[in-house]
Amino acid sequence: MSRNCFVPGCREGYKSKIKLNKWQGIINKTMFKAPKDVLLLEKWAKAIPRADRELRPGIDSVCEKHFDETYLNRYFETKLPDGSINQIKRDRIVLKNNAVPSIFPDLPKYLTRKRPIEKMIAEKKILFNDNISNTTDHVSETFNNLYDHLKNMELPDEWFFTYLHRSLVLGNLDSNYELIKKIIISNNDLNLKVFIKNKLINITCTSITCIEDITKVLKKVDDFVMCPGTGIDNCPKSDQCCEYINLISLNQVRNQRCSECAKKRKYFMDSQRVSQEHNYTTPLIGNIAVTTYK
Ligand SMILES: [Zn+2]
Ligand SMILES: [Zn+2]
């Protein structure tokens, strides 16, 4: 059994500290063994910021310093006939049921978890080791929340997530591993940009305020169907091709191509028909249509 306090930075229970206490006439802190109840143990383990070792039930101990006073029974209490309560100090403090440690005064600064968000930002700073804003303002809070969320999120097929150039990047690869859809969230202002084949796309949501926003945008962009061009061998896609098909328009669903390519296709077909009506033929030499007059 370990007599040392499990909390990082705490010296209670260490031989040197016990010696020092004795020398200074200080009573040693009461040590509490980690609970054997699985759920309570999990709460303790979650609460104590220690990653190098698992908290072992019934073996590792945590000292009284880490528990809120409301969790500590320091006295035997007896109700007297007149209604008053008589308190007799216990030799050994008893921990109340469901007590969870929450006070960690000697932790290295970055591990102090007053609020989870502060801890998260601290961890992020270590992880990135660069310029995530020092302030705990809304932008970096949201950004860090998003990072955490995206890292653990189950993405749609063929999507990946990465942190690049201080931005959160979501990308979608086609079967040739070509990056065809991309969502970028900047950490400066949480601005959001969507690219389809390197073309910046206008979308209604341009700033991310919560995790729901990114889920919606991801769904929307995932639903974009890539424009296949005009669908005619010797008629390449329009220079103004939108690169994707907006499925909101029923007409485009039928055509399965973007409005620009649909226009170009129609124009090509029409001119073909006109040339046929006027007895034009368009034999092909390579990819170049050569028009001859009969
Ligand atoms: Zn301790
Ligand atoms: Zn197109």
Question: Which ligand ends up closest to the CA of 61?
Answer: 1
Q: What angle do CA 159, 164, 167 make, to 5 degrees?
A: 90
| 56-83 confidence digits (pLDDT tens) | 999 999 999 999 998 999 888 888 888 8
Amino acid at 109: K
Rounded to the nearest whole angstrom, what is the distance from the C-alpha of residue 14 to the centroid of ligand 1? 10
Cα(first)–Cα(last) distance of the chain, in Å? 102
CA pair distance 159, 172, nearest whole angstrom: 4
Residue 113 has pLDDT above 50, yes or no: no
Q: How many Cβ atoms sit within 10 Å of the Cβ of residue 128? A: 14
- Please tell me the distance between residue 191's alpha carbon and the centre of ligand 2 in angstroms: 27
Q: How far, in Å, from the CA of 278 to the mean position of ligand 1?
A: 95
Ligand 1: centre distance to CA 12 (Å): 5
Q: Tally Cβ neighbours within 10 Å of residue 18.
A: 16
pLDDT at residue 235 tops 80: yes
Owner of token pair 């499925």 = 247
Task: Please give the biggest Cα pair distance in the chain.
Answer: 123
Task: Give me the mean pLDDT over the 84-98 stretch.
Answer: 87
Closest ligand, as measured to the CA of 65: 1
Identify which ligand lies nearest to the alpha carbon of 9. 1
Least distant ligand from the CA of 14: 1
> What is the 216 CA–ligand 2 centroid distance (Å)?
24
Spatial separation of the C-alpha atoms in residues 66 and 39, rounded to whole Å: 19
- Given CA atoms 146, 167, 158, 252 in this order, what sign does their dihedral have? positive
How many angstroms does the Cα of residue 105 sit away from the middle of ligand 1? Answer: 9
Dist. CA 198–CA 172, nearest whole Å: 12
In the DSSP assignment, the letter for residue 280 is E
**CA of residue 276 to ligand 2 center, whole Å:** 26
CA 288 – ligand 2 centroid, Å: 21
167-192 burial: b if 16+ Cβ within 10 Å, else e? bbbbbbeeeeeeebbbbbbbbeebeb
Helix (H, G, I), strand (E, B) or coil at 69: helix
CA nearest neighbour of 149 among 214, 207, 209: 214
Summarised one tens digit per residue, pLDDT across range 36-62 is 998 999 999 999 988 888 999 999 999
